[in-house]
Structure 1
Amino acid sequence: MKNRIILMGVAILMATSIFAQVEDPVKWTFSVDNVIGQEAELVFSAEIDYPWHLYSAHLPEGGPIATKPWYDESDNYTLVDEIVESPKPKVKFDAGFQMDVGTLAGKAEFRQKVKFKDAGTQTVSGEIEFQVCDDEVCLPPKSVSFAFEVKLEGAAAASDEIVHVDAGTETEETVAIESTTDASDTAVAGVPALEDEKSLWRFFWLAFGLGLLALLTPCVFPMIPMTVSFFMQGSDSKARGIFRGLIFGISIMAIYTLLGVIVSVSNVGPNAANALSTHWIPNLIFFALFMVFAFSFFGMFELVLPSSWSNKADTQVDKGGLGGVFFLALTTVLVSFSCTGPIVGALLVEAAGGLALKPILGMFGFGLAFAIPFTLFAIFPSWLKGLPKSGGWLNAVKVVLGFIVLAFSMKFLLALDPTNKILTRELYLAVWIVLFSMLGAYFLGKIKFAHDSDLPHISVPRLLLSVASFSFVIYLFLGLFGYELKTISPLLPPKSPNGLDLTQRAVYSGTPMLAADAHEECTPVKYADMFHMPFGLKGFYSLEEGLACARASGKPVLIDFKGHFCSNCKKMEAAVWSDPEVLRALREDYVIVALYTDDRTKLPEAEWYTSEVDGKVKKTIGQQNIDFEIANFRTNTIPLYVIMDADGNVVGEPKGTDLDVASYLSWLKGK
């Protein structure tokens, strides 16, 4: 309590500082629309101040707080479909969470269709939860109360009042809105875009590359000269042969693109992408499919289409003309399915649940790459002489693809264990190390699969590929000992808090025992079983304990106001706190106190108190920490770093997000 009084006094002196502002960047409007029979749409409209943004209602597990209404229990209505948002969220890669996240800025609207059991005037109440961030800081998650009065048939006329609510306030007021049924006034929200333009292009080039790789499989490569010979022998002139080759290539692209269209049309629903990317059932199915594809590449069995399909297509080829060319392309696609099927299937699994254009663009890229050689060899038939002969190397391509597909199948297991209690980073890396070690051994001829031919000697390409495989294995080994592996970090689970981390031991090697370590007061007790410090740092999660340790050790306190769902907090730790010099300063010069402002752990009733800021009872760890931040530093932004002496007096100016390592280190040293 004494510390609270001291800090309140300090806060008055800081009132004119750059942090003397409690951010409140969102205003909410609630209305009812499209009342038809027993159904209506609840409309949550947000006006967001520049440069802040909200997060989409549909986010993968492990990301920031999604914008989502929570409804009070009622038997009188049910929700119909998923909540829909407009405009389409802007999607970008979030380095803090290592994933693509959708954001909305300016004005945003969320619509939820509701079906009522009874007529008359009905009430729907609850809270909408959301979080806002800008490029430097985030605010802790907030909840705003709402109460809709929906006029159904037989009810008295409702008022025209629309209530505007600030993001930082809560209200018990009932919102009475005039219901409308004019569809022309309704902005229909589309499916949220979970891939941006860059990710679509990345997927296109991935599909294009796999299309080229598919040409090197034993089902496809031998067909190239036979198909080109068909064009030339059945043509009256070279120009006609070239024309038929072009039609053949266009037909292949059309067939694969049509397959993408079918997948795209079947992938409907505003929350399809979120469900497919986070729910355990589709991810388990996708994992099983990838395993089947991998085993097929290894020669355990072949995935083949019914022979009647290719036979019927082949009979149409004999009729000649452009129709015959199309059916030759269809026959090529069907006959090569045992090699291309797993590749196409893996691509479609990756595209499933995403933007509607993704499977179409992916299959177009695959078909384009697959068709280019046939077309080029039809135009320049003399190039056929330069093709390498078929042989065991073609099956080796399939086996390599099998190892790669098997490795990437692991990503679907992450959705089955979102907290990484079983599939830890170490276990994930161990599986990859085994797989790529086996791949290296395969290149050296130490492992042989069903359709592999004898290998009398090791060719130079195999030797180089083996070196590349084992080099990647050594790189993966470093991850077991705490190294970041930044090039593949988006594919891996997060670091385990109790995992081995030699990078920190290297930083601190030779460091004598800290004075703080020798005092009983410097043993974290409160919440130590719930929270963890990054990079093996020692610290506290209660200011009282931190100040006690500071008095015992003679060191200042560094308060880190942070959040579980704060992207900028994670960026600061990854980009700044990870620096060896910063880590050394944090470990040797400070007692760290991490205060989570968004933690929802409910405290014992004896620890509740009524805030002097807003007059509300603070019941959770996060509520009390953010109340402390607002009351003493007149801001609710995170991250916020504050240096105190052992008596609770603030030293220097608090600091927000600063990704400049030199600047942050200078601040830590008081320069």
Structure 2
Amino acid sequence: MKHFLLVLLTVFSFSQSFSQIQPVKWTTEVEKISDKEYNLVFKADIEDHWHLYSQVLPEGGALPTEFLFDSIAQTTDYRRVGKVLESESITEFDKVFQMDLTFFDNEATFTQKIELLNPEVTTITSEIYYQACDDARCIFESEIVNFSLDGSEVTAPVANVDERSKELSEKLQLNVTGWDNYEKEEYKEKSNLGIFILGFLGGLIALLTPCVFPMIPLTVSFFTKSASNSQKGLANAMMYGVFILVIYVLLSLPFHFLDSLNPEILNTISTNVWLNIIFFVILAFFAFSFFGYYEITLPASWGNKMDSASNVGGIIGIFFMALTLAIVSFSCTGPILGSLLAGSLTSDGGAMQLTLGMSGFGLALALPFTLFAMFPKWLNALPKSGGWLNTTKVVLGFLELAMAFKFLSNADLVKHWGLLKREVFIGIWIVLGIGLLLYLLGKIKFPHDSPIKKLSFGRISFAVLVGAFVIYLIPGLSNTEHANLKLLSGFPPPMFYSVYEQDSDCPLGLDCYKDLEEGVAVAKAENKPIMLDFTGWACVNCRKMEEQVWSKDNIYQVLSEEYIIISLYVDDRKELEENEQFQFLKQNGSVKNIKTIGDKWATLQTLNFQNNSQPYYVLLNHDMELLNHPIGNTPNADTYYNWLVKGVENYKK
């Protein structure tokens, strides 16, 4: 079986109600080619927003879809002609698994050609193994389907499992009690306020650049002195600020058009490996522009035309004045807007997040022109333009370069080049941090820097913050418990993408058990409650929970000291020992063959908890009584910690 890498997702995931789901429904058809040849057609009806994966996938991604046929029947009753063919698929960058994967949306058709060896055969049975995922969860399922070669109605065979299968099936029934004691918690989706605030902060930073800051007193003075009265001047200045906001919002509208054509197109574009490389090149190019080695400007003719149009007067003239500001300040605002664009498109919000970010950016740029027009005496309090403006640009250049390597890291992770392992990435950030520190202390100079006679308090203070940040990064180079830089979660490559070999097969080096009976026995011996961790090797959100939530000090302590963790991998395709394989009789009368470790644990989860999505966590005592309501993906660490602590309290009662 394939070995599946543990892949981290740095996107937000939201909780859902936890019940058994069936996003893929299978039907069958038979196409007769001749008296001996037939096409067996598997048809999958896939729910919206879910992906069913192809039969051929790269290592480290989702589980491929598999079609299994009885090996004995293939030697006596029929033979397969060629491989299972599949309908037209989609190959795109999958934001869940962070790599290019082939999958199907809405529907899929698979066709297997067979040749009959025994003309008396009228029914052929096949078993389908598949994984399906949406943006927040995955399910791993198997299903037995039947084909009628003579057109008669296929009747499911009468279930008749042997005594050994019945006995092993009964062991899967945990008889969990305590369901009425707890209510499920609903988790609210996070708002997009964060991206608006980031855009606003970006606009404030843009105000402190040489392209924008000197324009504030000049523009405000123009409006207040050129108008026939102060009220009209104030109204013109306010209109100018409104138009600045409108212009930046308008820049995001084309992305809404793309989003309406295909809701996933923005994510498809932004998560493409080559686009990540392009972002890296662009941001690096912007960074060296901020360092002062060259200027990035839009064509001068654009500014001249807008400046001429601004002489028209009235509202139209004010609009073109605002547009002129946007054009002539591009050399400073462009890099910040580029970072905002890249950050918005590589998140889950798409065009709406981009609009919110642009709105925040435009509002931050527009506010000073309005406020200073309302209170012109404030202009006297503004610091004079000088070398500090160029210092701001250079600092932004270092930040742009650091962000550029984040996008190169994304591409490296997808292609598994091994160029930017976690420690290498952190090392580059440390080098950039030291460079910024030396610059702030006056040890490094760039082309447009003014001579530094004395270090200012602000410069020294910022240098101290940068130095502290560099010190914080240093443990990230080690292979110790301090290497998980939680404040930077999502920026460096994941912990497993390391230059060091990872020995433990349990998350974060915690003690865990992969067998239910063994784990329960240890829990009884140590008098500790049990946490069932239904997980998967190809479950990205499972890794996210382990690396970003379990790694919190308080949660890690509770898990390591208070609980016996039993991790059950529902997608483990390792075959059980022959004497452990059995047939499980479903409630609908059909039979499921339990051949692999994953078959066993997936069936146990569905049977006892009516749930088949991962991650899924259950707290139990030794009598299989619930200690708290089961939960799934819970990115809020405080919520997860309180859930764990409540389970311990209930166990001690």
By the TM > 0.5 criterion, same fold? yes
Q: CA deviation at 1:286?
A: 1.6
2:598 aligns with: 622
State yes or no: 1:228 paired with 2:220.
yes
2:383 aligns with: 388
Instruction: Measure, in 1, the Cα distance between the counterparts of 2:275 and 2:562.
Output: 46
Instruction: Measure, in 2, the Cα distance between the counterparts of 1:43 and 1:333.
Output: 51
State yes or no: 1:413 paired with 2:408.
yes
2:197 aligns with: 205
Please give the per-residue CA displacement for 1:352-408, whole angstroms capped at 9, x wherever unaligned: 364332323322221221122122223333322221111010011111112222222
Please give the per-residue CA displacement for 1:422-471, whole angstroms capped at 9, x wherever unaligned: 53333332222222232222222122212111111111111111111112
Q: 2:88 aligns with which of 78, 82, 87?
A: 78
Structure 2 counterpart SS, 1:141: strand
State the structure with bigger RCO (CA 8 A, min sep 6), 1 or 2.
2
Structure 1 counterpart SS, 2:106: strand
- Which sections of structure 2, spanning at least 5 residues, go unmatched? 1-17, 29-42, 69-82, 99-103, 112-126, 156-187, 632-639
- Which sections of structure 1, spanning at least 5 residues, go unmatched? 1-21, 33-41, 47-53, 84-90, 92-96, 100-108, 117-124, 150-157, 164-195, 502-527, 644-649
1:364 aligns with: 359
1:214 aligns with: 206
State yes or no: 1:306 paired with 2:283.
no
Please give the per-residue CA displacement for 1:76-134, whole angstroms capped at 9, x wherever unaligned: 95358999xxxxxxx9xxxxx999xxxxxxxxx97349999xxxxxxxx9776336999
Q: CA deviation at 1:311?
A: 1.4
Q: 2:275 aligns with which of 282, 287, 295?
A: 282
Instruction: Measure, in 2, the Cα distance between the counterparts of 1:390 and 1:448.
Output: 19
CA contact (8 A) 1:318 1:324 kept: yes
| TM-score after normalising by structure 1 | 0.62
2:338 aligns with: 345
AA in 2 matched with 1:482:
E
In 2 relative to 1, CA 223–74 (structure 1 residues): closer, same or farther, beyond 3 Å? same
Instruction: Measure, in 2, the Cα distance between the counterparts of 1:212 and 1:662.
Output: 42
Q: 2:471 aligns with which of 471, 474, 491?
A: 474
Instruction: Measure, in 1, the Cα distance between the counterparts of 2:283 and 2:430.
Output: 19
2:101 aligns with: none
Instruction: Measure, in 2, the Cα distance between the counterparts of 1:68 and 1:250.
Output: 53
Please give the per-residue CA displacement for 1:19-52, whole angstroms capped at 9, x wherever unaligned: xxx97454866799xxxxxxxxx99476xxxxxx
AA in 2 matched with 1:583:
S
State yes or no: 1:373 paired with 2:352.
no
AA in 2 matched with 1:259:
L
Q: CA deviation at 1:216?
A: 0.9
Identity across the alignment (%): 35
In 2 relative to 1, CA 45–454 (structure 1 residues): closer, same or farther, beyond 3 Å? same
2:490 aligns with: 490
CA contact (8 A) 1:127 1:145 kept: no
Q: CA deviation at 1:279?
A: 2.6
State yes or no: 1:579 paired with 2:556.
yes
State yes or no: 1:252 paired with 2:224.
no
Structure 1 counterpart SS, 2:131: strand
State yes or no: 1:609 paired with 2:581.
yes
Please give the per-residue CA displacement for 1:338-363, whole angstroms capped at 9, x wherever unaligned: 11111112212223364332323322
Instruction: Measure, in 1, the Cα distance between the counterparts of 2:608 and 2:64.
Output: 30
Q: CA deviation at 1:319?
A: 3.7
In 2 relative to 1, CA 58–366 (structure 1 residues): closer, same or farther, beyond 3 Å? farther
AA in 1 matched with 2:361:
F
AA in 1 matched with 2:372:
F
In 2 relative to 1, CA 115–80 (structure 1 residues): closer, same or farther, beyond 3 Å? farther
Instruction: Measure, in 2, the Cα distance between the counterparts of 1:449 and 1:607.
Output: 73
1:155 aligns with: none
In 2 relative to 1, CA 357–555 (structure 1 residues): closer, same or farther, beyond 3 Å? closer
Q: 1:449 aligns with which of 433, 446, 450?
A: 446
Q: 2:458 aligns with which of 450, 456, 461?
A: 461
In 2 relative to 1, CA 67–356 (structure 1 residues): closer, same or farther, beyond 3 Å? farther
State yes or no: 1:141 paired with 2:143.
no
Please give the per-residue CA displacement for 1:291-328, whole angstroms capped at 9, x wherever unaligned: 12222211122111111111122222334333332222
- The alignment of Structure 1 onto Structure 2 pairs a total of residues equal to 514
2:71 aligns with: none
Instruction: Measure, in 2, the Cα distance between the counterparts of 1:148 and 1:381.
Output: 83
Please give the per-residue CA displacement for 1:491-537, whole angstroms capped at 9, x wherever unaligned: 33332387889xxxxxxxxxxxxxxxxxxxxxxxxxx98x7222334
CA contact (8 A) 2:276 2:411 kept: yes
Cα RMSD, aligned residues only: 5.2
In 2 relative to 1, CA 442–627 (structure 1 residues): closer, same or farther, beyond 3 Å? same
1:296 aligns with: 289
CA contact (8 A) 1:132 1:139 kept: yes
